[in-house]
Amino acid sequence: MKNKECIEMPDNACRYDSDPLFRLLEATSLHGIADWEADRRFAGDYLLLLIESGNGELLVDGSRFPLGPGNAALLLPASLFELNADPSKPLQGYRVSFQVLREADAGGGSLAFVKTNDAFPQSLAGVLPKLSFAEAVHAAAAIAGQRRRDEQRLQPFARQQMFHRLLETIVPQLEAPMQQAAASAIASTIAYMHTHYEEPISRATLARIAGMSPWHYSRRFKETTGRSPSEMLESIRLDKAREHLVSLDCTVREVAQLVGYRDESRFRRKFKETVGISPTMFIARKREKVAALSYHYAAHMLTLQAVPLATYVDRRRESHRSAYHDAIPFHLKRVKQPDADVWESHLQALAAARPEVILCDEFVDRQTGDSLAKIAPVVTIPWLEMTWRDHFREIASFLAKKRDAAAWLSGYERKAELLRKRISGRFGSERSLLLHIASDGLHVYGNRNGGSVLFQDLDLTPAHNAAAIKVCREITAAELTRLDCDRILLIVDADRESQRRWDDLQTSAVWLALPAVNRRTVHRIDEIPWLEYSPFAHTLVLDEAARIWR
């Protein structure tokens, strides 16, 4: 068999395999107010807008851009935007969406292409020269026309050629090299504002960072962002003030100083001008429109009779919360492993919901956290570092319901104590196990979730070292024999793989030899409420435990 021939590239060859690929998704002709008006939302992919006629305004990540004949705008993925049209002068034009792909090594000699959001430094908007705009409209119209005539299936090469011609016409006009350098310098000063907002910041300081004269800096800043440097700094400080007012137990004066205002009266005045209400009223209202981006924290709120504006809902799996489902205005899809599409749908729903505060845990990644912060102030309560009682008190403090939480906890402790005394007399020496069979294996729980009720509140003896397990630990079937458990509380997930694991286990010699199996002290229980870590679920776990240990 002959060896494969390798074609060697000459030394003077130009390589282009690192260039990104531009993938056209959709081109649409838009006419009238209904086509253009949209609630605040996130751009899922790159979005190109061309305005032929009419007037309006585009808001992108807090920056404002006027729209009129000859305008073009390029929005980056994850940009939070809102488009407002003038009813008397409806907008007409084109919308083109596309992706940018880069080559990636998939291993084994294979190649893959991944989406990238960094093909352009920032969202852009501006007026195009007449000739360039005419060429852009011609290309967009041709693309949109071809997309509509599916039955003809014109050559994709022609469509791609016109799409690239459209980009070649618009992008250089919006992003000339000098503009790109200026935009980078402006971006560095905005980053400085975000990290030093609590300090006195002058225009001269920002101009020096950008390497421009103060006058030139102010002009460039306004052209790039649609706002003056002082307006941007004020906006950043007020956004931080909103975060502090909802997450810190501080006075209005203390918050004013934390965000760089030396004059409290000026802070109060600017806050009311921007937010629409005074800081004092904002603190009082912060509890009315809360989005809970944590399944467990939503349960804490429900225990305190505070219904989230938006949170995860799964009617099939959450019968214990069914009384509240219809009262929650915005339902987020609850999945075990949310992918990028699920997160995008969550962000779009939250943007439409317009919460005043977003409550979450530490598991939200940085990119998602940045997007959430564009919607509303984010309050993060650590999940792993705190117990459910700590979570409950923290959320109650945030909602101004400390007394309600204290009363609820007092009632819960009495209920747990009565059950603990009843159980300890008859079952005090038993060794118990909370076992969960999932698609990825067998798991035993420690002192969190249902284990918190069993091994802490009811003081039952675990069949393993529960304190050494953060949440749960995967075990093998063989390890079950070494645990010597007298009673097993068993959860089996409903998916096919979990059921297969359970079918294999329950007929195995290992399972049939377990003391709990021989004594018939294996109890099938549901995932909910046993695997939920909240006061709402734990009071239900107490009720079920009372039926099991009777």
Please check whether residue 283 is in contact with residue 251, taking contact to mean a CB–CB distance below 8 angstroms.
no
CATH of domain 424-548: 3.40.50.1980
Lookup: tokens for 328: 């929650």
pLDDT reported for residue 175: 60
Domain layout of the chain by residue ranges = 21-174, 178-284, 290-398, 424-548
Enter the tokens of residue 510. 């290992």
Buried b (16+ CB within 10 A) or exposed e, 266-285: ebbebbeeebeeebeebbee
Tell me if domain 290-398 and domain 424-548 are identical in fold. yes
Amino acid at 507: T
Query: What CATH class has 21-174?
Result: mainly beta
Query: What is the Cα Rg of the chain in Å?
Result: 30
pLDDT in tens, the chain (550 residues): 444 444 454 555 555 556 789 999 999 888 865 666 667 889 889 999 999 999 988 888 877 888 899 988 888 898 899 888 888 888 899 999 999 998 877 666 677 888 888 777 667 777 777 878 889 999 999 888 754 444 454 577 888 889 999 988 887 777 664 566 677 888 899 999 999 999 999 999 999 898 877 887 898 898 888 889 999 999 999 988 988 887 777 889 999 999 999 999 999 999 998 888 888 888 776 677 899 999 999 999 999 999 999 999 999 888 889 899 999 999 999 887 888 889 999 999 999 999 989 999 999 888 888 899 889 888 889 999 999 999 999 999 888 899 999 999 999 999 999 999 999 878 878 999 999 999 999 999 999 999 999 999 999 999 999 999 999 999 999 999 888 899 999 999 999 999 999 999 999 999 999 999 999 999 999 999 999 999 999 999 999 999 999 8
- Please count the other Cβ atoms lying within 10 Å of the Cβ belonging to residue 414: 10
**CATH architecture, range 178-284:** Orthogonal Bundle (1.10)
Considering the entire predicted model, what is its pTM? 0.72
Integer CA distances (angstroms), 389 to 386, 399, 446, 486, in order: 8, 15, 16, 29
Mention every residue, 6+ apart, whose C-beta is less than 8 A from residue 492: 437, 498, 499, 502, 524
Question: How many CA atoms lie within 13 Å of 483's alpha carbon, on the beta-carbon side?
Answer: 28
Three-class SS of residue 485?
Answer: coil
CB of 117 closer than 8 Å to CB of 123: no
pLDDT for the residue numbered 148? 47
Unique residue bearing structure tokens 């014109």 = 154
Topology of domain 290-398 in CATH is Rossmann fold (3.40.50)
| Rounded Cα distance, 545 and 249, in Å | 38
The pLDDT, as a whole number, for residue 4 is 42
What are the distances in angstroms from CA 99 to CA 46, 65, 112?
A: 6, 23, 15
Could you report the per-residue pLDDT of 271-308, keeping only the tens digit for each?
A: 998 888 888 888 776 677 899 999 999 999 999 999 99
Residue matched to tokens 């790039």: 224
| Predicted local distance difference test score (pLDDT) of residue 132 | 85
